[in-house]
Chain A
Amino acid sequence: MSLARTGGAIARRRRGPLSEVLRPQEAIPRRTYLRILTTSAAALIAAWCVLTYGRLVAPLFLPSPTAVLATGVAMAQDGTLLQNAQASLLVIVTGWALAVLAGVPVGVLMGSFKAVEALIEPVIDFVRYLPVSALIPLLILYIGIGPAEKIAVIFIGTFFQLVLLVADVAAHVPHEQLDVAYTLGASRSQVIRRVLLPATLPGVMDTLRITMGWAWTYLVVAELVSADRGLGFMILDSMRGLFTDRIFVGLAVIGGLGLCFDLVFKWLHRVLLPWSPKA
Chain B
Amino acid sequence: MIPPPKLRLLDVTVTFRARHGALVPAIDRLSLDVADREIVSIVGPSGCGKSTLLRLVAGLVRPSSGEIRLDGHVVAEPGADRGMVFQSYTLFPWLTVQGNVEFGPRLRGMPDRHCRDVASRFIEIVGLAGFERAYPKELSGGMMQRVAIARALANDPEVLLMDEPFGALDAQTRVFMQELLLDIWEKTPKTILFVTHDIDEALFLGDRVYVMTARPGRLRDEVVLALPRPRTLEIETSEAFLAAKRRVLAMVREEAQRTTPEPSRLRA
> Using Cβ atoms and an 8 Å threshold, which residues of chain B touch A274?
135
Tell me if A177 and B94 are in contact (CB < 8 A). no
Tell me if A198 and B107 are in contact (CB < 8 A). no
Verify if B242 is at the interface (C-beta below 8 Å from A). Answer: no
Tell me if A183 and B83 are in contact (CB < 8 A). yes
Tell me if A2 and B137 are in contact (CB < 8 A). yes
User: Which partner residue on chain B sits nearest A201 by CB separation?
Assistant: B94
Verify if A184 is at the interface (C-beta below 8 Å from B). Answer: yes
Tell me if A194 and B140 are in contact (CB < 8 A). no
Give chain B nearest CB distance to A178 CB in angstroms. 9
Q: Annotate B58-79 by CB proximity to A: 1 below 8 A, 0 otherwise.
A: 1110000000000000000111
Interface-forming stretch among B85-93, B121-129, B209-217? B85-93
Verify if B104 is at the interface (C-beta below 8 Å from A). Answer: yes
The one of B77, B82, B90, B94 that contacts A273, using a Cβ cutoff of 8 Å: B94
Give chain A nearest CB distance to B139 CB in angstroms. 9
Verify if B26 is at the interface (C-beta below 8 Å from A). Answer: no
The one of B55, B60, B95, B104 that contacts A184, using a Cβ cutoff of 8 Å: B104
Whole-angstrom distance between the alpha carbons of A176 and B107 in the complex?
18
Tell me if B78 and A182 are in contact (CB < 8 A). yes
Give chain B nearest CB distance to A18 CB in angstroms. 30
Give chain A nearest CB distance to B88 CB in angstroms. 6
Give chain B nearest CB distance to A146 CB in angstroms. 42
Give chain B nearest CB distance to A205 CB in angstroms. 12
Verify if B219 is at the interface (C-beta below 8 Å from A). Answer: no
Considering only CB atoms and an 8 Å cut-off, how many residues of chain A contact the other chain? 26
Tell me if A185 and B140 are in contact (CB < 8 A). no
Verify if A66 is at the interface (C-beta below 8 Å from B). Answer: no
Whole-angstrom distance between the alpha carbons of A195 and B55 in the complex?
19
Whether A1 contacts B80 in the complex (CB less than 8 A), given A184-B107, A185-B104, comes out as no
Verify if B84 is at the interface (C-beta below 8 Å from A). Answer: yes
Whether A183 contacts B82 in the complex (CB less than 8 A), given A2-B137, A176-B88, comes out as yes
**A249-271: which residues lie under 8 A (CB-CB) from chain B?**
none
Whole-angstrom distance between the alpha carbons of A184 and B95 in the complex?
15
Q: Annotate B97-109 by CB proximity to A: 1 below 8 A, 0 otherwise.
A: 0000001100110
Tell me if A275 and B60 are in contact (CB < 8 A). no
Whole-angstrom distance between the alpha carbons of A181 and B80 in the complex?
9
> Using Cβ atoms and an 8 Å threshold, which residues of chain A touch B90?
174, 176-177, 179-180
Verify if A276 is at the interface (C-beta below 8 Å from B). Answer: yes
Tell me if B137 and A275 are in contact (CB < 8 A). yes
Verify if B4 is at the interface (C-beta below 8 Å from A). Answer: no
> Using Cβ atoms and an 8 Å threshold, which residues of chain A touch B55?
179
Considering only CB atoms and an 8 Å cut-off, how many residues of chain B contact the other chain? 34
Q: Annotate A1-24 by CB proximity to B: 1 below 8 A, 0 otherwise.
A: 111100000000000000000000
Whole-angstrom distance between the alpha carbons of A177 and B144 in the complex?
14
> Using Cβ atoms and an 8 Å threshold, which residues of chain A touch B60?
179, 182-183
User: Which partner residue on chain A sits nearest B79 by CB separation?
Assistant: A185
Whole-angstrom distance between the alpha carbons of A274 and B55 in the complex?
33
Tell me if B93 and A275 are in contact (CB < 8 A). yes
**A128-185: which residues lie under 8 A (CB-CB) from chain B?**
174, 176-177, 179-185
Q: Annotate B136-167 by CB proximity to A: 1 below 8 A, 0 otherwise.
A: 11101100000010011001000001000000
17 contacts between A and B (CB under 8 A): A2-B137, A177-B92, A180-B90, A180-B151, A182-B58, A182-B78, A183-B60, A183-B83, A183-B161, A185-B104, A190-B107, A194-B107, A198-B94, A275-B95, A275-B137, A277-B93, A277-B137
Q: Which residues of B contact A (CB under 8 A)?
A: 55, 58-60, 77-80, 82-84, 86, 88, 90, 92-96, 103-104, 107-108, 135-138, 140-141, 148, 151-152, 155, 161
Top 8 nearest A-B pairs by Cβ distance?
A185-B80, A182-B78, A184-B104, A275-B135, A183-B84, A180-B90, A198-B94, A176-B90
Q: Which residues of A contact B (CB under 8 A)?
A: 1-4, 174, 176-177, 179-186, 190, 194-195, 198-199, 201, 273-277
